[in-house]
Amino acid sequence: MKLLDSIVAVVPAAGVGSRMKIDKPKQYLTLYRKTILEHTVEKLLSHQCINKVVVAIADFDPYYSSLFMVTNPNIIRVAGGKKRVNSVLLGIKHVQEYQLSEWVIVHDAVRPCIQLSDIDKVIASALKHDVGAVLALPVRDTIKRANKEQNIRYTVNREKLWHALTPQMFKVEILLHALNNALDSGAVVTDESSALELLGKQPALVLGRTDNIKITYVEDLNLAKCYLFQT
Protein backbone atom coordinates (compact mmCIF):
# COMPACT_ATOMS: atom_id res chain seq x y z
CA MET A 1 0.00 0.00 0.00
CA LYS A 2 1.34 3.40 -0.98
CA LEU A 3 2.17 5.64 1.96
CA LEU A 4 1.12 9.26 2.19
CA ASP A 5 3.67 12.03 1.70
CA SER A 6 1.99 14.85 3.61
CA ILE A 7 1.29 13.70 7.15
CA VAL A 8 1.62 16.10 10.06
CA ALA A 9 2.86 14.89 13.44
CA VAL A 10 1.62 16.44 16.68
CA VAL A 11 3.92 16.26 19.70
CA PRO A 12 2.46 17.30 23.07
CA ALA A 13 5.39 18.79 24.99
CA ALA A 14 3.82 21.00 27.65
CA GLY A 15 4.26 18.55 30.53
CA VAL A 16 6.41 19.19 33.59
CA GLY A 17 7.65 15.63 34.17
CA SER A 18 6.79 15.59 37.87
CA ARG A 19 7.39 11.85 38.29
CA MET A 20 11.08 12.28 37.51
CA LYS A 21 11.53 14.89 40.27
CA ILE A 22 14.06 17.05 38.41
CA ASP A 23 14.48 20.81 37.96
CA LYS A 24 13.22 20.99 34.37
CA PRO A 25 10.69 19.15 32.19
CA LYS A 26 12.16 15.82 31.09
CA GLN A 27 11.76 16.62 27.37
CA TYR A 28 14.55 19.19 27.84
CA LEU A 29 17.07 16.81 29.36
CA THR A 30 20.08 16.29 27.12
CA LEU A 31 21.16 13.08 25.42
CA TYR A 32 24.21 13.33 23.16
CA ARG A 33 24.17 17.16 23.11
CA LYS A 34 20.53 17.37 22.05
CA THR A 35 17.41 17.53 24.13
CA ILE A 36 15.06 14.58 24.18
CA LEU A 37 12.49 16.74 22.40
CA GLU A 38 14.94 17.53 19.59
CA HIS A 39 15.78 13.85 19.11
CA THR A 40 12.07 13.03 18.91
CA VAL A 41 11.13 15.79 16.48
CA GLU A 42 14.15 15.16 14.24
CA LYS A 43 13.30 11.47 14.02
CA LEU A 44 9.73 12.27 12.99
CA LEU A 45 10.83 14.75 10.32
CA SER A 46 13.32 12.23 8.94
CA HIS A 47 10.40 10.04 7.87
CA GLN A 48 9.53 10.43 4.21
CA CYS A 49 5.80 10.84 4.86
CA ILE A 50 5.96 13.45 7.62
CA ASN A 51 6.43 16.97 6.30
CA LYS A 52 5.63 19.03 9.40
CA VAL A 53 5.66 18.62 13.17
CA VAL A 54 3.36 20.66 15.41
CA VAL A 55 4.80 20.94 18.92
CA ALA A 56 2.52 21.99 21.79
CA ILE A 57 4.55 24.00 24.31
CA ALA A 58 3.48 25.58 27.60
CA ASP A 59 2.95 29.35 27.38
CA PHE A 60 5.64 30.24 29.91
CA ASP A 61 8.14 27.59 28.83
CA PRO A 62 11.65 29.12 29.23
CA TYR A 63 13.51 26.37 27.35
CA TYR A 64 11.99 25.89 23.91
CA SER A 65 13.07 29.21 22.40
CA SER A 66 16.75 28.36 22.95
CA LEU A 67 16.64 25.19 20.84
CA PHE A 68 18.19 25.19 17.37
CA MET A 69 15.09 23.59 15.90
CA VAL A 70 12.94 26.70 16.47
CA THR A 71 14.24 28.13 13.18
CA ASN A 72 13.06 25.11 11.17
CA PRO A 73 10.00 26.19 9.13
CA ASN A 74 8.65 22.64 9.25
CA ILE A 75 8.39 22.74 13.05
CA ILE A 76 5.38 24.72 14.27
CA ARG A 77 4.91 25.79 17.87
CA VAL A 78 1.41 26.04 19.31
CA ALA A 79 0.26 26.74 22.85
CA GLY A 80 0.07 23.69 25.06
CA GLY A 81 -2.79 22.82 27.36
CA LYS A 82 -3.17 21.98 31.02
CA LYS A 83 -3.20 18.25 30.31
CA ARG A 84 -1.80 16.08 27.53
CA VAL A 85 -5.20 15.70 25.89
CA ASN A 86 -5.63 19.49 25.78
CA SER A 87 -2.22 19.91 24.13
CA VAL A 88 -3.04 17.28 21.52
CA LEU A 89 -6.38 18.94 20.82
CA LEU A 90 -4.76 22.35 20.34
CA GLY A 91 -2.22 20.84 17.96
CA ILE A 92 -4.90 19.11 15.91
CA LYS A 93 -6.98 22.27 15.75
CA HIS A 94 -3.98 24.01 14.18
CA VAL A 95 -3.64 21.22 11.62
CA GLN A 96 -7.33 21.53 10.76
CA GLU A 97 -7.40 25.34 10.67
CA TYR A 98 -4.51 25.56 8.22
CA GLN A 99 -5.53 22.42 6.30
CA LEU A 100 -2.07 20.93 6.72
CA SER A 101 -3.09 17.30 6.32
CA GLU A 102 -6.01 14.87 6.29
CA TRP A 103 -4.13 12.56 8.66
CA VAL A 104 -2.27 13.25 11.88
CA ILE A 105 0.27 11.22 13.83
CA VAL A 106 0.46 11.87 17.57
CA HIS A 107 3.73 10.97 19.28
CA ASP A 108 5.01 11.42 22.82
CA ALA A 109 7.75 14.03 23.23
CA VAL A 110 9.75 11.64 25.39
CA ARG A 111 9.86 8.68 22.99
CA PRO A 112 13.02 9.61 21.06
CA CYS A 113 13.93 6.02 20.17
CA ILE A 114 11.07 5.44 17.74
CA GLN A 115 12.21 3.63 14.60
CA LEU A 116 11.18 4.69 11.10
CA SER A 117 10.09 1.12 10.40
CA ASP A 118 7.51 1.35 13.19
CA ILE A 119 6.19 4.62 11.76
CA ASP A 120 5.88 2.86 8.39
CA LYS A 121 3.81 0.11 9.98
CA VAL A 122 1.48 2.52 11.76
CA ILE A 123 0.87 4.54 8.60
CA ALA A 124 0.20 1.45 6.48
CA SER A 125 -2.19 0.03 9.07
CA ALA A 126 -4.08 3.31 9.53
CA LEU A 127 -4.61 3.64 5.78
CA LYS A 128 -5.79 0.05 5.57
CA HIS A 129 -8.21 0.16 8.52
CA ASP A 130 -9.30 3.79 8.01
CA VAL A 131 -10.35 4.19 11.67
CA GLY A 132 -6.70 4.58 12.66
CA ALA A 133 -3.84 2.65 14.17
CA VAL A 134 -1.95 2.47 17.44
CA LEU A 135 1.57 1.19 17.99
CA ALA A 136 1.46 -1.28 20.87
CA LEU A 137 3.15 -4.19 22.63
CA PRO A 138 1.54 -7.32 24.09
CA VAL A 139 1.73 -7.40 27.89
CA ARG A 140 4.54 -9.78 28.86
CA ASP A 141 4.69 -9.44 32.64
CA THR A 142 2.25 -10.87 35.14
CA ILE A 143 -0.35 -8.21 36.00
CA LYS A 144 -1.76 -7.88 39.52
CA ARG A 145 -4.89 -6.04 40.64
CA ALA A 146 -4.25 -4.31 43.99
CA ASN A 147 -6.48 -2.94 46.72
CA LYS A 148 -6.09 0.50 48.30
CA GLU A 149 -3.62 -0.92 50.85
CA GLN A 150 -1.46 -2.04 47.91
CA ASN A 151 -2.04 -5.71 48.59
CA ILE A 152 -2.72 -8.14 45.75
CA ARG A 153 -6.38 -8.87 45.12
CA TYR A 154 -5.94 -11.15 42.13
CA THR A 155 -3.91 -11.80 39.00
CA VAL A 156 -5.25 -10.30 35.78
CA ASN A 157 -5.44 -12.51 32.71
CA ARG A 158 -2.94 -10.87 30.38
CA GLU A 159 -4.17 -12.66 27.27
CA LYS A 160 -5.28 -10.02 24.76
CA LEU A 161 -3.84 -7.20 26.90
CA TRP A 162 -1.59 -4.67 25.15
CA HIS A 163 0.52 -1.70 26.19
CA ALA A 164 -0.55 1.27 24.06
CA LEU A 165 2.45 3.24 22.74
CA THR A 166 2.88 6.06 20.28
CA PRO A 167 2.82 6.99 17.47
CA GLN A 168 -0.92 6.77 16.95
CA MET A 169 -2.42 7.84 13.63
CA PHE A 170 -5.95 9.01 12.82
CA LYS A 171 -7.84 11.23 10.43
CA VAL A 172 -7.83 14.80 11.67
CA GLU A 173 -11.61 15.25 11.60
CA ILE A 174 -12.32 11.98 13.40
CA LEU A 175 -9.77 12.57 16.15
CA LEU A 176 -10.87 16.17 16.63
CA HIS A 177 -14.47 15.04 17.10
CA ALA A 178 -13.44 12.21 19.43
CA LEU A 179 -11.34 14.42 21.69
CA ASN A 180 -13.99 17.13 21.91
CA ASN A 181 -16.59 14.50 22.73
CA ALA A 182 -14.41 12.97 25.43
CA LEU A 183 -13.69 16.31 27.08
CA ASP A 184 -17.33 17.38 26.92
CA SER A 185 -18.39 14.15 28.62
CA GLY A 186 -15.75 14.44 31.34
CA ALA A 187 -14.10 11.17 30.34
CA VAL A 188 -10.49 10.47 31.28
CA VAL A 189 -8.38 10.36 28.11
CA THR A 190 -4.89 8.93 28.55
CA ASP A 191 -4.21 8.41 24.86
CA GLU A 192 -5.89 9.31 21.58
CA SER A 193 -7.31 5.86 20.89
CA SER A 194 -9.26 5.93 24.16
CA ALA A 195 -11.19 8.94 22.85
CA LEU A 196 -12.14 7.03 19.70
CA GLU A 197 -13.17 4.03 21.78
CA LEU A 198 -15.79 6.22 23.48
CA LEU A 199 -17.37 6.66 20.04
CA GLY A 200 -17.44 2.91 19.48
CA LYS A 201 -14.46 2.98 17.12
CA GLN A 202 -11.90 0.18 17.07
CA PRO A 203 -8.45 1.35 15.91
CA ALA A 204 -6.00 -1.30 14.80
CA LEU A 205 -3.17 -2.46 17.05
CA VAL A 206 0.24 -2.51 15.40
CA LEU A 207 3.05 -4.55 16.92
CA GLY A 208 5.89 -2.22 17.84
CA ARG A 209 9.47 -2.57 19.04
CA THR A 210 10.43 -2.88 22.69
CA ASP A 211 13.09 -0.16 22.38
CA ASN A 212 10.44 2.53 21.79
CA ILE A 213 10.54 3.46 25.46
CA LYS A 214 8.84 6.41 27.11
CA ILE A 215 11.35 8.24 29.29
CA THR A 216 9.52 8.53 32.60
CA TYR A 217 12.05 7.85 35.36
CA VAL A 218 15.72 8.77 35.81
CA GLU A 219 16.83 5.19 35.15
CA ASP A 220 15.23 5.38 31.69
CA LEU A 221 17.83 7.91 30.56
CA ASN A 222 20.72 5.46 30.31
CA LEU A 223 18.54 2.97 28.49
CA ALA A 224 17.51 5.64 26.00
CA LYS A 225 21.16 6.54 25.44
CA CYS A 226 21.91 2.93 24.57
CA TYR A 227 19.01 2.71 22.13
CA LEU A 228 19.83 6.03 20.50
CA PHE A 229 23.43 4.99 20.06
CA GLN A 230 22.32 1.75 18.41
CA THR A 231 20.10 3.62 15.98
Distance, first Cα to last Cα, the chain = 26
Do residues 165 and 212 make contact, with C-beta atoms less than 8 angstroms apart? yes
Residue 17 binned pLDDT confidence (cut-offs 50, 70, 90): low
How many helices (H) and strands (E) would you count in the chain? 6, 11
Mean pLDDT across 127-135:
95
pLDDT more than 70, % of the chain: 96
**Residue type for position 135:** L
CATH code of the domain made up of 7-230: 3.90.550.10
pLDDT band at 15 (very low <50, low <70, confident <90, very high): confident
pLDDT band at 206 (very low <50, low <70, confident <90, very high): very high
Top-confidence residue, 21 or 84: 84
User: How many CA atoms are closer than 13 Å to the CA of 93, on its beta-carbon side?
Assistant: 13
The average pLDDT across 181-193 equals 97
Q: For Cα atoms 42, 43, 49, give the angle at the middle one, nearest 5 degrees.
A: 105
* 228 pLDDT more than 70: yes
CA distance 202 to 15: 28
Average pLDDT, the chain: 95
78: three-class secondary structure by DSSP? strand
Q: In the predicted model, is pLDDT for residue 18 greater than 80? A: no
pLDDT at 19: 64
Residue 21 confidence (pLDDT) above 70: no
Domain chopping of the chain, boundaries: 7-230
Per-residue pLDDT at 130 exceeds 60: yes
133-162: average pLDDT: 97
pLDDT given at position 1: 42
Contacts 24+ apart (CB under 8 A), 129-132: 129/203, 129/204, 130/171, 131/170, 131/174, 131/196, 131/201, 131/202, 131/203, 131/204, 132/168, 132/169, 132/170, 132/171, 132/174, 132/175, 132/192, 132/193, 132/196, 132/201, 132/203, 132/204
pLDDT one-digit tens code per residue, 67-122:
999 999 999 999 999 999 999 999 999 999 999 999 999 999 999 999 999 999 99
Q: Which of 210, 121, 201 is nearest to 168 (CA)?
A: 121
